[in-house]
Structure 1
Amino acid sequence: MARPKEFEINEVLDRALLLFWEQGYEKTSMQELVDTMGIHRKSIYDTFGDKHALFIQALQLYIKRQSEHLKKPALAEQSVKEIIRQALDVKKSNDETPIGCFMVNTGVELGTLDPLSASLVQDGYGRIEEFFRYLIEYGQKRGELNATLNATMLSHYLMNAWLGIRTMAKTNYDSQQVANTIAITLSVLDS
């Protein structure tokens, strides 16, 4: 008779996600995963598979959570520009989450090396870009944003800014520099 699992799967996957987010795939060892997740190596293999399979599950969980944040917000309560500003912003890390974005970090580290990771990251990026396009079109219909701007091209521009801010924050977080970059980016919406 098999022993029941003595751990909560989502809880230990969260721990692995944070470790991969902080260190990246290559730098994270199986022993660090064992220590961080608080379960035996055999339990990791039996539950999640090898290190790569565990990493992919952590990345999928992160992207799922990101997508949940992109659900259509209560637009009547805030201006579209404010929602875009909040989406672009990246806060300095607290004690629980690393700075930057796990999806962006993965794209930079594994984008050309691991087709599955690259595909997941591209899908995540596509969802974010679609969210920006939705906000732009909604803002144009509501008269908040210039209706002559091309929503698709502008969503590409906002996505580029979103990626750049997360990369900048990971390497050299400066809250004033982030705020300035966001302000300049948002000024394009007034054109």
Structure 2
Amino acid sequence: MARSKEFEENEVLEKAMKLFWEQGYEKTSMNDLVEHMGIHRRSLYDTFTDKHTLFLKAMNRFGDRFNGRMATAIKQAETASLALRSIYDLSMNVEGDTPPGCIFVNSAVELANRDPEVDARATQAFENTEHLLKDIVVWGQQNGEFTKNVEADDLAELLHNTLVGLRVMARTSAAKEKLQRIANLSISLLQD
């Protein structure tokens, strides 16, 4: 008779995602995962195959979660500037219920140059974010909020670069006020 799973897969994946997000791939051992996820090693292998597959699923989960939060923040924003502010706040983890930074940025720095699957996921996530930022810039250009003197694609690339920098700095002891000033300045540079 087959044993039934004694855990909810999404719940343990969420725990794994947060652990990878906090510690990175290489620092996180299988023992860390088993202990943090609260499941048996065999169950981890049966459900997720191996550490690398679990990590890729954790990256996907982060992407789904973050994209959902960004979409909600943008829908609730009354202006393009407020939409950008919301994305910056999410990226700097203003809400405080998650580890600082971004699993895609962290993983790109740690693994992208030697792990094609991580590189592909991080690169796709960055492209998706740039596309989203471009949509916000176009919105701001159309309503007269942002300058039309620079192409929306170029502004989106600049904003994304700032966003990645903020995600890295959010993992350090940099003052939140400094991060807020950087975000505010990047938004003000777009204004017409």
The TM-score bracket by the shorter chain reads: over 0.9
2:22: which partner in 1? 22
User: What is the root-mean-square deviation of aligned Cα atoms in Å?
Assistant: 1.6
1:55 partnered with 2:27: no
1:110: which partner in 2? 111
Check whether the contact 2:145–2:191 (CA below 8 A) recurs between aligned residues.
no
Distance in structure 2 (CA, Å) of the matches to 1:114 and 1:67: 23
2:83: which partner in 1? 83
Distance in structure 2 (CA, Å) of the matches to 1:161 and 1:43: 41
Q: Deviations over 1:40-97 (max 9, x none)?
A: 000000000111111111011111122223337336x521111112212313573x42
Check whether the contact 1:70–1:128 (CA below 8 A) recurs between aligned residues.
no
Check whether the contact 2:141–2:148 (CA below 8 A) recurs between aligned residues.
yes
Instruction: Please give the TM-score of this superposition, normalised by the length of structure 1.
Output: 0.93
Aligned residues: 189
Check whether the contact 1:100–1:167 (CA below 8 A) recurs between aligned residues.
yes
Distance in structure 2 (CA, Å) of the matches to 1:25 and 1:93: 24
2:178: which partner in 1? 177
Question: For structure 2, which runs of at least 5 residues remain unmatched after alignment?
Answer: none
Alignment of 1:92-131 (within 5 A): 94=96, 96-131=97-132
Distance in structure 2 (CA, Å) of the matches to 1:16 and 1:93: 20
2:156: which partner in 1? 155
1:68: which partner in 2? 68
Distance in structure 1 (CA, Å) of the matches to 2:83 and 2:27: 35
Distance in structure 1 (CA, Å) of the matches to 2:176 and 2:154: 27
Distance in structure 2 (CA, Å) of the matches to 1:124 and 1:173: 25
Question: For structure 1, which runs of at least 5 residues remain unmatched after alignment?
Answer: none
Distance in structure 2 (CA, Å) of the matches to 1:57 and 1:183: 34
- SS at structure 2 position matched to 1:5: coil
Match for 2:108: what amino acid?
G
Regions of 4+ moved over 4 Å: none
1:166 partnered with 2:160: no
Instruction: Please give the TM-score of this superposition, normalised by the length of structure 2.
Output: 0.92
1:34: which partner in 2? 34
Match for 1:30: what amino acid?
M
Identity over aligned pairs, percent: 38
Mean alpha-carbon deviation: is it higher for 146-155 or for 130-139?
146-155
